[in-house]
Amino acid sequence: MPRDTRYRLVFRPACDRFHAAEKARLTPNWEFIMARIEAFRAWRPRPDIASEVASPPYDVLNSAEAREMAAENPNSFLHVNKPEIDLPEGTDPYDGAVYAKGAENLRRMVDERILIREHRPALYLYQQVMGEHRQIGLVAGASVDEYEAGLIKKHEHTRRKKEDDRTRHVDELDANTGPVFLTYKARPEVDDLVVRLTAGEATYDFTAPDGIRHTLWVVDQESDVLALIDLFAAVPELYVADGHHRSAAGTRIRALRREANPGHTGNEPYNFFLSVIFPDDQMLIMDYNRVVRDLKGLDKSAFLAAVRKVFDVTEMPQGKPKEAKEYSMYLGGQWYRLVAREGSYPADDPVRRLDVAILQDNLLAPVLGIGDPRADERVDFVGGIRGLEELVRLVDSGEFQVAFALHPTSIHDLFSVADAGEVMPPKSTWFEPKLRSGLIVRPLSK
C-alpha cells in the first residue's frame, strides 16, 4: 500500500475507541491510522507552589548551574531531573547513585504533597507566552506503538549514551518526568475546542524568572477528554520537534517492561510516553548559530577569498539574515553578508538544501576542515535566544575566530525531512520557549 494511505496492516492491539462509521469500514486485520493519545492520572504541584516546582528542562543546564538555581529551593524539580546536585560536587551524572537519588527525591515530593495525584484520568492544556509569541499544547500520553510504526516521525539521530541515561532515569523513577515536544499540522477543529476549554479559570498561571508566562488547564470531564481523543484520531501523524532521546527511551522502557510482564495487554501505562503536542502554526524556531575556534591556518584575506568561491560576500552592519540561504558572518570585528549561490547545493534534496547543511558542506567542511560537527571540538553552537551579541562576545574574546548567524530552519523543512525518513544535520533547530519540567509528571504505575 502507498505510504500515505490512511490504513495499514499493523501488529499491535487495536485502539479501544473508533467512530462507528470508521470502525465499520475496517476488516479485522486492519487498523485505522491515527494519533492515539492517552489521558492519565498525573502527579502535579499544588497550585500554591507550582512556580517553585517548575524548572528548566534537564538538558539546558549543566550540573553547576542547576545546583546554584535550586540551592535555596527544596521544591525545585531540578532535585528530580538533575539529582546529582544533591550529591557531592564532581559526582558523575551517570553514576547509579544519581538515579537512586532522583527516585528518592521524587518519592519525597509525593510524600510531602509537593506533588499531588490527579483523582481521575485527565488531559492538560499548557500555554506559554514569551513576548509576543503564544503557544498552547495538549499534554497527553503518546503511543509507543505509533512511534515504532513511524507515525510519530523523527528528524534526528540519537546518541546511545543519552538514550541509556533517559531510559535508566525513567525506569528507576517509574515515571516520565520530562515531556517530549511533539507537533502536528494544525487543524481548525482542534483549535476551536482548545479555545473553548481554555476559556475557564486555569489551574496554574505564573511567570517564571526568565519572563515566560506558563498557564495550565486540567481537562478531566469525560466528554471533553473523549472529544480531544476523537479529534486527534483524525490526525494522521505527529512529529518529534524536541526530545528525541526521551521518545527513544519510551520505546526501550516498553520493551523492558513488556518482556517482564507475562500478562502484557498493550494498554499498560508503559505503552505511552509523556508528550506536549503543539500545532505547527504556533511553533517558534529560532536560529542555531555556529562559532569556530580557528581559521585552519588561513589569514583573514585567504579565508575570505575561499568563502567567496561559493558565497556572494559583502560587508554589512550587524544584523540577522533576512531570509533562507543568507548568513551573517562575524570576522575580525566586521560583519559580512553571505548568500549561497544557486547551483551550489541540491535544491531538490530535503536535507542538503537546508541552510545548516549548505554552510556545513560548502564552508565548514571544505574550508575549515570540520568534517563531523558532532565530534569536532573546534566548532560550537549558540542558540538564537542568546542574540548576536553573544557571537560578538565569543569572537572578540579571542576564544573563537569566526561566527555564523543562520536563518531559522522552518517547521515545513522539518516536516519535509521527517516525511522523507531522513535526519537533519546536528543542531538544526532551536525551539523556544522551553517546556518547564515538573508541572506534569506521568507515573508508569497505575
User: What string of H, E and C letters represents the secondary structure of 118-144?
Assistant: CCCCEEEEEEEEECCEEEEEEEEEEEH
Match domain 288-407 to its CATH number in 1.20.120, 3.30.70, 3.30.1760, 1.10.3210. Answer: 3.30.1760
> Could you tell me whether strands 180-184 and 238-242 are parallel, antiparallel, or unpaired per DSSP bridges?
antiparallel
Name every residue whose Cβ is closer than 8 Å to that of residue 166 and which is 6 or more positions away in sequence: 178, 245, 246, 248, 249
Contact 183, 163 (CB under 8 A): no
User: Quick one: average pLDDT of 297-302?
Assistant: 97
Three cell numbers at 380?
560550537
Side chain identity at 390, as an amino acid letter? E
Between the alpha carbon of residue 278 and those of residues 126, 281, 346, the distances in Å are: 9, 8, 31
Contact 191, 279 (CB under 8 A): yes
pLDDT confidence of residue 33: 53
Does 289 score more than 60 pLDDT?
Answer: yes
pLDDT confidence of residue 210: 92
Please write the tens of the pLDDT for every residue from 71-94.
Answer: 999 999 999 999 999 999 999 999
**Torsion angle in degrees (nearest 10) through CA of 431, 433, 437, 439:** -130
User: Quick one: average pLDDT of 259-276?
Assistant: 95
Helices (H), 114-207: 144-148, 160-173, 188-197
Contact 438, 175 (CB under 8 A): no
Indicate the pLDDT class of residue 16, thresholds 50, 70 and 90. very low
Angle separating helix axes 244-259 and 160-173, nearest 10 degrees: 60
Start-to-end Cα distance in the chain = 38
Burial (CB < 10 A; 0-12, 13-18, 19+), residue 223, is exposed
Domain ranges of the chain: 1-33, 35-285+429-446, 288-407
Name every residue whose Cβ is closer than 8 Å to that of residue 309 and which is 6 or more positions away in sequence: none
Please write the tens of the pLDDT for every residue from 150-181.
Answer: 999 999 888 899 999 999 999 999 999 999 99
Q: Is the dihedral of CA 319, 325, 329, 335 positive or negative?
A: negative
Burial (CB < 10 A; 0-12, 13-18, 19+), residue 47, is middle
Could you give the percent of the chain with pLDDT greater than 70?
A: 92
Q: Is the dihedral of CA 132, 138, 139, 142 positive or negative?
A: negative
- Position with higher pLDDT, 12 vs 188: 188
